[in-house]
Amino acid sequence: SLEVLDVSGTGLAELGAELLALPRLHTLLAKNNRLGGPGSLPKGLGQASLGRSLRVLNLSGNRFAEVPPALLGLRGLQSLSLGGNRLHGIPPDIQELRSLEFLYLGGNFITSIPPELANLPSLSYLVLCDNKIQSIPPQLAQLHSLRSLSLHNNLLTYLPREILNLVHLEELSLRGNPLVVRFVRDLTYNPPSLQELAGRTIKTRNVPYARSDLPENLVRYLSLASNCPNPKCGGVYFDSCVRQIKFVDFCGKYRLPLMHYLCSPECSSPCSSASQSSTSQSESDSEDEASVAARRMQKVLLG
Amino acid sequence: FRYTRNLVDNGNGKFNVMILCWGEGHGSSIHDHTDSHCFMKILQGNLKETLFEWPEKKGNGEMTKKSERVLRENQCAYINDSIGLHRVENISHTESAVSLHLYSPPFDSCNTFDQRTGHKHKVKMTFYSQFGERTLC
């Protein structure tokens, strides 16, 4: 009937199958050991009753080079720590941990974040500090329950503008990232192909066509049109979009570089003020949804 | 979700003694000490203290680091505004840390500084608990 088991700092290289025979175990602490090789965790971890009963798992300070697939079956897990290991990435199947609220992955060698991480419906506390992360997928903004996001000491140069959509965010740490402070002039813009320009015109002007009018590949191509993220622009794009960094200014004290994807350089994003110039500097808040979001983020960043 | 400040004694208004609890990865902003004396003792774990120079009047560049050190269990540190500014952080990803702080005279607001620009911003400091009772805001 054991409920809490702490085998931290015991030099263990593997956790045995005896664990599966503990139906009431809800907290397992195994930090600072020598876990990380194949077979570190017992097979069938997810299928045993542990799969539903385990709430807290701490494997920090071990030698895991990847998130052990065995633990992805722990559907009842609320808190997972793999801090201070040797992880180079996060598997998309992390989304299987449907009950996860607390995820600590600080102090690894993670270079990117899979968008599937955003499918964790209850995630409120996400720690990714002290890694090698270069960009945040915009899908992360779908983590509506996120209250704390720790990103300090990574390799971020900008954030996706969608970060402003995290309405419940109370804490955000960004220090120790090479965030750009000036408009980056040399973001390459790949001009759209003729096929893309034709496709855009067909879509925006509603030029009628039937499947028999066009080769199959072009019919499929036309179906892949994406709406420009700017809700004020009715445009669409296929493969070519402009990446532009615009700064959101918080009282002139904190400038956050946000990456915008637009259908063309002439398309102004909702964050911009009336004037649009290609040499944009800081944008002042205007009266729309984006400014409300920006004010909220200001409170988070300035404390 | 961040480090907590727990007031233990307010010494008839002459000083504040508090216990700070730092989870893994928790750190403070760069801050000043509003003309008060500040003593700190590590009760559990380790805390890294990074000292910074005051930014220039019209500062608009990266703040200058003066020094950094890791304070171990039972070690003490002292700072006041004439010494400089500091950031305190628990850099461990596996252990939490606990520190004891004495501020004299007591203060409830200070300035936090953006390391990249030196810009400062006044903040009110709040307690997670006082004399063992959770403080709700």
Report whether pLDDT(A277) > 50.
no
Lowest mean pLDDT among A291-295, B1-5, B20-24: A291-295
pLDDT (0 to 100) of residue A7:
96
Secondary structure (H, E, C), A126-139: EECCCCCCCCCCHH
| Helices A194-204, A216-223: crossing angle, 10 deg rounding | 60
pLDDT tens column, A112-125? 999 999 999 999 99
Q: What is the mean pLDDT of residues A127-137?
A: 96
Q: Are A140 and A163 in contact (CB under 8 A)?
A: yes
pLDDT (0 to 100) of residue B103:
96
pLDDT (0 to 100) of residue A188:
59
How many angstroms separate the CA atoms of A271 and A265, rounded? Answer: 14
First to last CA, chain A: 44
Tokens of A24: 């009431």
How is residue A193 annotated by DSSP?
P
Peptide bond into A229 cis (omega under 30): no
Q: Are A68 and A43 in contact (CB under 8 A)?
A: no
Mutate which of B93, B108, B113, B120 to disrupt the A interface (most A C-beta within 10 Å)?
B93
How many angstroms separate the CA atoms of A170 and B1, rounded? Answer: 9
Tokens of A244: 């532009």
For residue B3, how far is the Cα from the chain centroid? 10
Percentage of the residues of chain A whose pLDDT score is greater than 70? 77
Report whether pLDDT(A12) > 70.
yes
Tokens of A65: 């080079």
**A199 in contact with chain B, both atoms CB, cutoff 8 A:** no
Note whether A125 contacts B123, CB cutoff 8 Å. Answer: no
pLDDT: is A229 or A238 the higher one? A238
How many angstroms separate the CA atoms of A300 and A191, rounded? Answer: 37
Contacts of B121 in chain A (CB under 8 A): 253, 302-303
CA atoms A47, A48, A54, A57: torsion sign? negative
Contacts of B25 in chain A (CB under 8 A): 83, 104, 106-107, 127, 129-130, 150
Report whether pLDDT(B89) > 60.
yes
pTM for the whole structure: 0.81
Q: Are B52 and B64 in contact (CB under 8 A)?
A: yes
pLDDT tens column, B34-67? 999 999 999 999 999 999 999 987 667 889 999 9
pLDDT tens column, A136-174? 998 998 998 999 999 999 999 888 888 888 878 888 888
**B1 in contact with chain A, both atoms CB, cutoff 8 A:** yes
pLDDT (0 to 100) of residue A14:
95
How many angstroms separate the CA atoms of A268 and A277, rounded? Answer: 9
Average confidence score pLDDT of chain A: 83
ipTM above 0.90, yes or no: yes
Which of A280, A272, A194 lies closest to A239, judged by CA?
Answer: A194
How many angstroms separate the CA atoms of B29 and B87, rounded? Answer: 6
Percentage of the residues of chain A whose pLDDT score is greater than 90? 46
Give the chain B residue nearest A252 (alpha carbons): B119
Contacts of A130 in chain B (CB under 8 A): 25, 91, 93
Point out the residue among B1, B27, B93 whose CB comes nearest to the CB of A170. B1
Which of A174, A256, A298, A254 lies closest to B120, judged by CA?
Answer: A254
pLDDT (0 to 100) of residue A161:
82
pLDDT tens column, A195-224? 988 998 998 888 999 888 899 999 989 888
Contacts of A152 in chain B (CB under 8 A): 27
Confidence of residue A274 (pLDDT cuts 50, 70, 90): very low
Mutate which of A147, A150, A251, A299 to disrupt the B interface (most B C-beta within 10 Å)?
A150
Report whether pLDDT(A228) > 70.
yes
pLDDT tens column, A177-187? 988 766 555 55
pLDDT tens column, A239-267? 777 766 777 665 445 567 777 766 776 66
Specify binding-site residues of B for Fe cation: 31, 33, 86
Point out the residue among B29, B93, B117 whose CB comes nearest to the CB of A83. B93
pLDDT tens column, A66-125? 999 999 999 999 999 999 999 999 999 999 999 999 999 999 999 999 999 999 999 999
Mutate which of B22, B24, B91, B128 to disrupt the A interface (most A C-beta within 10 Å)?
B24
Contacts of A104 in chain B (CB under 8 A): 24-25, 93
